Amino acid sequence: MSESEAFRSGLDVVRAVEPRIADAIAQELDDQRESLKLIASENYASPAVLLAMGNWLSDKYAEGTIGRRFYAGCRNVDTVESIAAEHARALFGAEHAYVQPHSGIDANLVAFWAVLAQRVEVPALEQAGVRQVNDLTEADWATLRRELGDQRMLGMSLDAGGHLTHGFRPNISGKMFDQRSYGTDPETGLLDYAAVREAAREFRPLILVAGYSAYPRRVDFAIMREIADEVGATLMVDMAHFAGLVAGKVFTGNEDPVPHAHIVTSTTHKSLRGPRGGLVLCDSGLVDQVDRGCPMVLGGPLPHVMAAKAVALAEARVPEFRDYAQRVVDNARALADGLLRRGARLVTGGTDNHLVLIDVSGYGLTGRQAESALLDAGIVTNRNAIPRDPNGAWYTTGIRVGTPALTTRGVDATGMDEIAGLLDTVLRATTPTGKARYTLADGVAERVRARSAELLARHPLYPGLDLR
Ligand SMILES: *Cc1c(COP(=O)(O)O)cnc(C)c1O
């Protein structure tokens, strides 16, 4: 049976119960096919990944870990989880992989609590001479709870490209930890390691977090580890955005976080091109604590998603994935060069990963106006703060664009240059009329839509997949 038939008959089964859902699923494929997707955190998973999710593995409760479950009858879940973990360990060269987290945020929660358990709870239990928290006296328990809530974290600031989960107040991480940020050099826009070291020496965090969502450059994780070691911090790297570049061996040596960090977290659906989900990699010292992720902070595992993770991780272990990862980076460079040639202003002056951050103040716009005008022309991006953003986190001054998704469709460097032209055309044709309001010159949206439709037609999404 072909992929088309598999999806079509699946949809027919859904349609028989709730046709509106079947229609929305089919419509989503059309929408994805027709939009020029430059969202740096999105991608297109393979049919094998998608199909691995739609089945009865979903019906199984499997709290606990492989071979140590709180429920009976988990042998197939054990198989699925073992294979996913085995692929993750091999792909990333990690000592241990935990593939249960439902998302990147969940993976970070697992990591935070693993470190808190290892460094705060376990020593407290030892000191009190008991085996587990239930054996502590009320007084010792109260003290431990206060200590758990009084730990420090140092992470990259939001406007330099860090993530909300790296200790910011609106997120639970900011409520759990006393947080300080490091940023980028005001001149170069590059990560300022000397400033990180200085902040670490002064603040002495329990956890030093590296990783980003909107920083267009590479990070030297060997230096970050050296800084962590100097102040006795645990180095946690959140590679949610760039896991595909690590898997594809574009980031090696000091740019590969796995050999340097104590613990690494990731999503599986961004550059890694798997199902929506997360994972944690760690060295042997943290295994016991990481494996307690469920039910510590995670709800029951999603066995069907772990199956899809296993498929995606297997896909990332074949040589073609390395070509893909290299093309993602080459394409980002081509996109940046095309924008610079047309006069755009870029944060850090370019990119050496999968994303580009356009400073749209060069076009006299806020990020909000630019994002909306681009969407009018069928180009999907997101607005993003830039370092020391004058417009704040809501309106912003940046547009973040990334190449993982379009590279999956087969768009090449020439296509990226064409896309740079489309972005520049729309941004130049946009006139601000208020912080969020703007007008787009007549005919531009239609012209750009037509040209991007031509480009996308040359690179069909899921070629051969036909739902009709
Ligand atoms: C996307 C992202 C996350 C969150 O991932 P979700 O799957 O949306 O929870 C966490 N950290 C970083 C750095 C990210 O880019």
Report which ligand 1 atom has the smallest distance to the Cα of 267.
7
Q: Strands, E, within 314-404: which ranges?
A: 355-359, 379-380, 382-384, 398-402
The CA distance from 181 to 166, in Å, is: 9
Report which ligand 1 atom has the smallest distance to the Cα of 270.
1
Annotated catalytic residue, options 184, 234, 265, 267: 267
The CA distance from 258 to 283, in Å, is: 9
What mean pLDDT do residues 446-453 have?
97
Annotated catalytic residue, options 15, 276, 333, 345: 276
Instruction: Return the C-alpha torsion angle 361, 364, 367, 372, nearest 10.
Output: -150
Instruction: Tell me if 57-315 shares its fold with 321-457.
Output: no
CA geometry: angle at 285 spanning 235 and 258, to 5°? 45
Q: Whose CA is nearest to atom 14 of ligand 1?
A: 240
Ligand 1 centroid to residue 9 C-alpha, Å: 33
At 239, the pLDDT band (50, 70, 90 cuts) reads very high
Note if 276 is an active site residue: yes
Element (H, E) at 68: strand 68-69
The CA distance from 307 to 59, in Å, is: 13
Give 250-273 pLDDT, tens digit per residue.
Answer: 999 999 999 999 999 999 999 999
Note if 320 is an active site residue: no
CA distances from 218 to 170, 184, 221, 260 (A): 27, 13, 9, 15
Ligand 1 centroid to residue 239 C-alpha, Å: 9
Note if 234 is an active site residue: no
Give 92-111 pLDDT, tens digit per residue.
Answer: 999 999 999 999 999 999 99
Structure confidence at residue 2 (pLDDT): 87
The CA distance from 179 to 207, in Å, is: 10
* Amino acid code (one letter) for 56: W
The CA distance from 305 to 81, in Å, is: 10
- By the 8 A CB rule, do 106 and 290 touch? no
At 307, the pLDDT band (50, 70, 90 cuts) reads very high
Ligand 1 centroid to residue 67 C-alpha, Å: 29
Res. 461: pLDDT tops 90: yes
The CA distance from 223 to 225, in Å, is: 5
Report which ligand 1 atom has the smallest distance to the Cα of 276.
7
Q: Which CATH architecture has domain 57-315?
A: 3-Layer(aba) Sandwich (3.40)
The CA distance from 281 to 99, in Å, is: 9
Res. 1: pLDDT tops 70: no
Annotated catalytic residue, options 81, 106, 192, 238: 238
Ligand 1 centroid to residue 104 C-alpha, Å: 4
DSSP assignment letter at 63: -
Identify which of 164, 172, 213, 298 to mutate to test ligand 1's pocket (most ligand atoms within 8 A of the CB).
213
Structure confidence at residue 196 (pLDDT): 98
What mean pLDDT do residues 227-232 have?
98
Note if 288 is an active site residue: no
Note if 61 is an active site residue: yes
Identify which of 39, 105, 110 to mutate to test ligand 1's pocket (most ligand atoms within 8 A of the CB).
105
Q: Domain spans of the chain? A: 57-315, 321-457
Annotated catalytic residue, options 42, 63, 78, 283: 63
Ligand 1 centroid to residue 303 C-alpha, Å: 21
What mean pLDDT do residues 310-334 have?
98
The neighbouring-strand residues paired with 191 are 184
Six-digit token string for 325: 């990862």
Render the burial of 271-309: b for 16+ CB within 10 Å, e for the rest. bbbbbbbbbbbbeeebbebbbbbbeebbebbbbbbbbbb
Q: Whose CA is nearest to atom 15 of ligand 1?
A: 213
| pTM of this prediction exceeds 0.85 | yes
Identify which of 153, 215, 267, 297 to mutate to test ligand 1's pocket (most ligand atoms within 8 A of the CB).
267
What mean pLDDT do residues 354-372 have?
97
Residues with C-beta less than 6 Å from any ligand 1 atom = 41, 103-105, 163, 165, 211, 213, 238, 240-241, 267, 278
Res. 425: pLDDT tops 70: yes
Ligand 1 centroid to residue 46 C-alpha, Å: 21
- By the 8 A CB rule, do 45 and 308 touch? yes
Q: Strands, E, within 309-395: which ranges?
A: 355-359, 379-380, 382-384
Give the chain's mean pLDDT.
96
Res. 143: pLDDT tops 80: yes
Q: Whose CA is nearest to atom 3 of ligand 1?
A: 104
At 435, the pLDDT band (50, 70, 90 cuts) reads confident
* Amino acid code (one letter) for 168: F
Ligand 1 centroid to residue 241 C-alpha, Å: 7
Could you tell me whether strands 151-156 and 207-211 are parallel, antiparallel, or unpaired per DSSP bridges? parallel
Render the burial of 7-39: b for 16+ CB within 10 Å, e for the rest. bbebbeebeeeeeeebeeebeeeeebbebbbbb
- By the 8 A CB rule, do 256 and 243 touch? no
- By the 8 A CB rule, do 310 and 80 touch? yes
Give 208-221 pLDDT, tens digit per residue.
Answer: 999 999 999 999 99
Superfamily of segment(s) 321-457? Aspartate Aminotransferase, domain 1 (3.90.1150.10)
Render the burial of 416-435: b for 16+ CB within 10 Å, e for the rest. bbbbbbbbbbbbbbbebeee
The CA distance from 65 to 295, in Å, is: 10
